[in-house]
Amino acid sequence: MLSPARSLLALSLAALASGCAIAPRNDCPQLKGPAWQELRSEHFQLRTDLDPKDAQAALVRFEQFRSALLNAWGAGYRPPGVVDVVVFAKPSELEAIYGRDEHGQVIWGSGSHTGTGLRMVLSGKGGSILGGTGYKDVAPMYLMAWELTRQAMPSAPTWVREGFATYLETANIDDTETKTILGKPYRNKLYYLAQHSRLTLEQLWDYEKYPDEQAEASAWLWTHYLLAAHGDRFADFQARLTRGEPARPAFQKAFAGVDWDREQLEIHAYLREQHFRVYQYALATPAVTPQVRVLEDGEVHALKAELWEGGRRSEAQKKAEVAEQLRQAQAHDPAGVGTRLMLAQRLTGADERLVAARQLAHDFPQSLAAWKFLDAELPHGDATREERGEALTRALALAPSDPEVLNAYAWHFAWGETAQRAYEAARQARLMMPYSANTLDTYALAAAAVGRCNEALSVQRVAVSLVDSAGPEMLKRLRRYEGGCKEH
């Protein structure tokens, strides 16, 4: 998970007067403004009420900065996956959900993890969300860098994930937009380190024991120093983490023979002299042709209700706001898929929910949310294996890069004639979420089903290592793979 200090990132904003609580559409009696849109590119889903031109500019900027960050792993690293981004045009709407931090500053953005990957909820004006004038660009950069770091190095310890993500947070694109600049000094971290002691590298292995600011600043400094002073060794360490090797042995192998007493003196000089090594890379600007659609009012209210449920308000206020979003959805878009899905999800009886889920999938065959809801409800009713297989197949056709769908599809079909298809789906899900024990468990099952027992064993061992206490079924599968994948 993101470090507590960074999961909610604050920036002082001038509060704007709040308007109508429903989606800013022209049918809102108190507020006129652009319709909410969904824009999709290869690596981002952006839902926003920004002006259409500003929304497209923001989407291009997200792709551009993602491409810039990937330079940290070399030209060959191009991971799949889609980041879910929600941008409110008015900072006041975000403040309503997330409030202010302990210093009284308005929280401008939040990062969290869903079943499909990273979600960023931001406020911004026009295309200034990343770069340009307007709001500072470093916090969204941190969130993207953190996710890419976790995806690239699934076995990395906390100090590496935080240190590397913070190192990448200061990535910049030059004025000509032809070069990426990595390694710029992080002034806030330098200021903190000038006032406080830094942690030793040995202490950083126990990252969670120390105050957030001290641990984060120390991890940033050590990462910056090791990249500059021991670049080849750090690259070897990265490669080992990418392969899923246990972190401590991987570090000891990559840095064998290093005199750490001497390194303590060297890093002190590195910090004192501040001759930080900066790297420049050619920037390959990605071509972005977004798929754009206008969201229905019910979809907007469903999205806002979901955000409110994860907001930083009292449980009573969150419950009231979710109910208000549902009321407005029923008032303005009673027949829409978003409204009907919200109502179906709040039914208390399993049979009722299943009936509603089946009807939703029938009425909205192009809705991924409807098929995912049906798949979630089918195990609780009289569904056949064939019906669930159909729901997963339809969902996968609509979202071939959704790791949650890929994982469920692979688990369902990892048998008999469909095993190879399941293996390919599981392999794709693993590329997107190599840090998920559930995803790796499925991948191991699919690998065993196609006769790749050694692969199943190595992956299952990693899956078990990623959880504090593996369940009996996961351990049972591990024992089966250790026994040559034979059924007992």
* Per-residue pLDDT tens over the stretch 130-180: 543 333 334 788 888 888 888 888 889 999 999 999 998 888 888 888 888
d(CA 177, CA 60): 12
Average pLDDT over the chain, rounded to whole?
86
Helix (H) / strand (E) element for 121: namely strand 117-123
Residue with tokens 């551009």: 64
Q: Tens of pLDDT along 201-233?
A: 999 999 999 999 999 999 999 999 999 999 999
Average pLDDT over every residue of 303-307: 93
Bridging pattern class, strands 172-173 and 179-182: antiparallel
pLDDT at residue 2 in the model: 53
Eight-class DSSP state of 14 = -
Number of CB atoms found within 10 A of residue 386's CB? 8
Query: DSSP string of 257-307?
Result: T--HHHHHHHHHHHHHH-----EEEE--PPP---EEEEPPHHHHHHHHHHH
Return the SS3 of 123. Answer: strand
Catalogue all structural domains in the chain, each as residue range(s) with its CATH number.
4-282 (1.10.390), 409-488 (1.25.40)
pLDDT of residue 129: 55
Q: In what order do the strands lie in the sheet with 107-114?
A: 8-10, 107-114, 117-123, 83-88, 44-48, 37-40, 291-294
d(Cα 479, Cα 488) in Å, to the nearest integer? 10
297 pLDDT more than 60: yes
**Alpha-carbon distance 462 to 433, whole Å?**
13
pLDDT above 80: residue 70: yes
Q: Which residue type does 63 have?
A: E
For the CA atoms of 230, 235, 240, 243, the dihedral, rounded to the nearest 10 degrees, stands at: 170
What is the pairing mode between strands 179-182 and 117-123? unpaired
Terminal Cα-to-Cα distance of the chain (whole angstroms): 37
Instruction: Specify the pTM.
Output: 0.82
pLDDT band per the 50, 70, 90 thresholds, residue 261: very high
Of 467 and 18, more confident: 467
Query: What does the radius of gyration of the chain's CA atoms come to, in whole angstroms?
Result: 24
- pLDDT the model gives residue 19: 31
Q: How confident is the model at residue 292 (pLDDT cuts 50, 70, 90)?
A: very high
